[in-house]
A and B are shown apart, each in its own frame.
Chain A
Amino acid sequence: MPILDHLWIILALPLAGAAINGLFGKRWPQSAVNSVAVGSVTLAFLAVAELVREFALLSPDQIPFIGSYFTWMVAGSFKVDFALQVDQLTVVMLLTVSFVGMLIHIYSTGYMAHEGGYYRFFSYLNLFMFFMLTLVMAANLIVMFVGWEGVGLCSYLLIGFWFLKKSAADAGKKAFIVTRIGDFGFTVGVLLVFATFGSIDFGTIFKAVASNPISEVTLTTICILLFTGAIGKSAQLPLYVWLPDAMEGPTPVSALIHAATMVTAGVYMVARMNPLFSRAPIAMLVVAIVGAVTAFYSATIGLVQTDIKKVLAYSTVSQLGYMFLGCGVGSYAAGIFHLMTHAFFKGLLFLAAGSVIHAMGGEQDMMKMGGLRAKIPVTFWTMLIATLAIVGIPGFAGFFSKDAILEAAQSGPHANLPLWLLGTAGVALTSFYMFRLAFLTFFGKPRYDEHKVHVHESPKNMTIPLVILAFFSIFGGWFAAPKLVGGIDYFEKFLAPVFSAYAPPMAEPAVLIGEPHVSPLMNLVRQTLGWPALAAVLGFLAAWWLYIKSPETPKRWAQSVRGLYLLLLNKYYVDEIYAALIVRPLLWISTNVLWHGVDEGVIDGVVNGSARVARASGSQFRKLQSGNMRSYAAWVLIGAVGFTVLLIALYVRVVH
């Protein structure tokens, strides 16, 4: 069991890559930086693959497999080990993160080839991989928190990668600060977990919660606090505002961090803490509501955005909402399933969008594209596959995962019909904005100056990752395919031990099986031609009609329902509302009270005041040093007389 006994190797590889590139990469040629960065991540992926092989040989009672390396800190009964664990959920996350991460590293060698700070970019990207792998392998909440904050740091560094551009630097700060609001809740949640259970080890917590009845109020509070962290990290209402701005970063960063991996950390955390969430129905409902509302809400914003990356950003927020909806209605496996397929197709969408932007020489406005289909065929076909996958066309990866979520919302143990309706409506919106994106970009007549822009297909190291991801965007969901004909959802079955080991007793075993009394063919028809498929087709038809059939209509509509259009275009003015309600009052208080009042008035006042007193008294007292020796003698005499008088006075007092 070479890797299982040395789990730390998987973390050490990207960390070493980050350190080497960060320290020496500046003087190295790009090829050397490439080999270190891509090499370390590829080795990490191979290590994960070997880990999976060894994991398959473990007997069920050895899972979760824990590797504890050293005791990190001890304070009274509070003890934190640097411990890593591997169970089915970890395996899924590890494979997704390392595989997509590796592809995006390869893609970046092409995309960033002409950028300054090449070594810096790859050093950050490797560091991100280190923290993300730490996050998913952590065996306790504190190590998880290290990864959690670490990926936040790398996100900040990479959003602000072009830090000379003010909007990029601001977006980085915004992402860091907004997620910090959620992390505050997360931190308090972790403290409350320790206060309640006396431990922060996952295994200990889960055993405790399964064997001892803990008051539901406490559990609900813990879960909602932890979920606050997830809201910030995974960009849910009301803390989603940082993610669209995060598109200021280089496109591979948007693909890796702000679509495929980091933003899904919140979903992973909720799924990891499932024994707690499952016992807090109110917290579950909150998760489901936030997820469903976010899924619908951000899809509406996506309808009218014209920046290709912004559309994808709102789409990411929306898809993350679906994942939380899945977790919230009790089907954690569906949430994680969607997390994985989403990593494939959304990573692909972003990389393809990057390829489009690359081809257009940096243009991101879809209104200035059009007709690119024939000129960049690889990008077109892969992006089309990703679009079909995210929309949920039967057979593509997104169909299986999104269907599992909506099915759980419709008929699962925590079914909730209004939320199912929101989710299904969201599918129609998703379908509309995704086909709108495809039509505006690849179809119709070119709306750019063909003499100025030389559209060209991207180099091999960019298109190959696209093709690989396209493959997984189709087949990545087929673990669940047997369910369509009445069989077993293998993905759900694989994850079942994680989600049923400490599940509350009344819950049914989570493996969903198609209705056995229906014939396989009938089952197939029922499963594929449900409401979500209908919604997707409706969205497609609307997009086709508005952007292919009569391209003048959108403008007319934008005029006739101007109010609604502007509301959507300006993202419901949420940024403006936050600015007015929070940012500006905060700035005013900081400027007028804390800065001019407390800092300048009190703190500077005390320091400057004592200096002024010292100066003023000094300028008076220095006159005592007159240079006249006899005056000194007089001072000595006065002092001696005064001292003598004092002594006599004290003597008199003591005696009498």
Chain B
Amino acid sequence: MSVIPVSWYLVLSAILFGLGVVAFVFKRNVITIFMSIELMLNAVNLAFVAFARALNQLDGLVFVFFVIVVAAAEAAVGLAIVIMLAQNRQSLSVERVNLLKF
């Protein structure tokens, strides 16, 4: 059984991360932006796991756990903000949220 080379994982990770970035910049719906952030985080997780496996070290795995924990916390706070936003603005578009400026 042949082993899948680590570069494949990295390419997949880069593609997922790129998709996340593009969605983050161009989407207006705050839920979608949120999801694109999760996508970027998981793309990075994939790269970590791939490296950990390839180099036979645990460090990358530890990082992944941290990322998952932080992402969970972020989801809790972020979704709460999204709910408040939806209640106050009757909309999920970030274009409508622009009061904090010069």
Contact flags A342-356 to B (C-beta < 8 A → 1, else 0): 000000000000000
Instruction: For A621, give the chain B residue with the smallest CB separation.
Output: B102
Kindly state the separation between the CA atoms of A621 and B26 in the bound complex, as whole angstroms.
24
Whether A625 touches B101, Cβ cut-off 8 Å, given contacts A633-B24, A634-B25, A637-B25, is yes
- The answer to whether B95 touches A628 (Cβ under 8 A) is yes
Q: Which of B94, B99, B100, B101 contacts A630 (CB 8 A)?
A: B94
Chain B nearest CB, measured from A432 CB (Å): 86
Apart from A628-B98, A633-B24: 15 A-B pairs, beta carbons within 8 A? A623-B102, A625-B101, A625-B102, A626-B101, A627-B99, A627-B100, A628-B94, A628-B101, A629-B97, A630-B26, A630-B28, A630-B94, A633-B25, A633-B33, A637-B25
Cβ of B52 < 8 Å from any Cβ of A? no
- Specify which chain B residues have a CB less than 8 angstroms from the CB of A623 in the assembled complex: 102
Chain A residues whose C-beta falls within 8 Å of the C-beta of B95 in the assembled complex? 628, 630
Q: Mark B12-47, 1 if CB is under 8 A from A, else 0.
A: 000000000100111010000100000000000000
Among A607-656, those with CB < 8 Å from B are: 622-623, 625-630, 633-634, 637
CB distance from A618 to the nearest CB of B (A): 10
Q: Which chain A residue shows the least CB distance to B22?
A: A637
B101 CB to nearest chain A CB (Å): 3
Interface size classification for chain B: 10 to 19
Q: What is the interface of chain A, defined by CB distance below 8 A to chain B?
A: 622-623, 625-630, 633-634, 637
Least Cβ–Cβ distance between A102 and chain B, in angstroms: 76
Q: Which residues of A contact B102 (CB under 8 A)?
A: 622-623, 625-626
In the complex, per-residue mask of B74-102: 1 if CB is within 8 Å of any chain A CB, else 0: 00000000000000000000110111111
A622 to B95, CA, bound (A): 19
A622 CA to B102 CA, complexed, in Å? 6
Given A622-B102, A623-B102: A630 in contact with B25 (beta carbons within 8 A): yes
B36 to chain A, nearest CB (A): 10
Residue of B nearest to A641 (CB): B21
B33 contacts across to A, CB distance below 8 A: 629, 633
What are 28 A-B contacts defined by CB distance under 8 Å?
A622-B102, A623-B102, A625-B101, A625-B102, A626-B98, A626-B101, A626-B102, A627-B97, A627-B98, A627-B99, A627-B100, A627-B101, A628-B95, A628-B98, A628-B101, A629-B33, A629-B97, A629-B98, A630-B25, A630-B26, A630-B28, A630-B94, A633-B24, A633-B25, A633-B33, A637-B21, A637-B24, A637-B25
Residues of A within 8 A of B25 (CB): 630, 633-634, 637
Select from chain A the residue with minimum beta-carbon distance to B36.
Answer: A633
Most buried by A among B28, B94, B100, B102: B102
Smallest CB gap from B99: residue in A: A627
Instruction: Give complex CA distance A628, B102 in Å.
Output: 11
Roughly how many angstroms separate A88 CA and B97 CA in the complex, as a whole number?
94
Give the top 8 A-B pairs by smallest Cβ distance, nearest first: A627-B101, A627-B98, A622-B102, A629-B94, A633-B25, A625-B101, A625-B102, A628-B98
CB proximity of B32 to chain A, nearest CB, Å: 12
Residues of B within 8 A of A628 (CB): 94-95, 98, 101
Bound CA span A626–B94, Å: 13
Bound together, the chains give a CA A329 to CA B97 distance in angstroms of: 97
Q: Chain B: which residue is nearest A634 at the CB level?
A: B25
Q: Provide the bound-state CA to CA distance between A415 and B20, in Å.
A: 108
Q: Which residues of A lie under 8 Å from residue B98 when comparing CB positions?
A: 626-629
B54 to chain A, nearest CB (A): 20
Q: Determine the chain B residues whose CB is within 8 A of the CB of A626 once the complex forms.
A: 98, 101-102
Chain A residues closer than 8 Å to B26, beta-carbon distance = 630
A634 to B21, CA, bound (A): 10
CA distance A622 to B94 in the complex (A): 21
Closest CB of chain B to A239's CB: distance in Å? 64
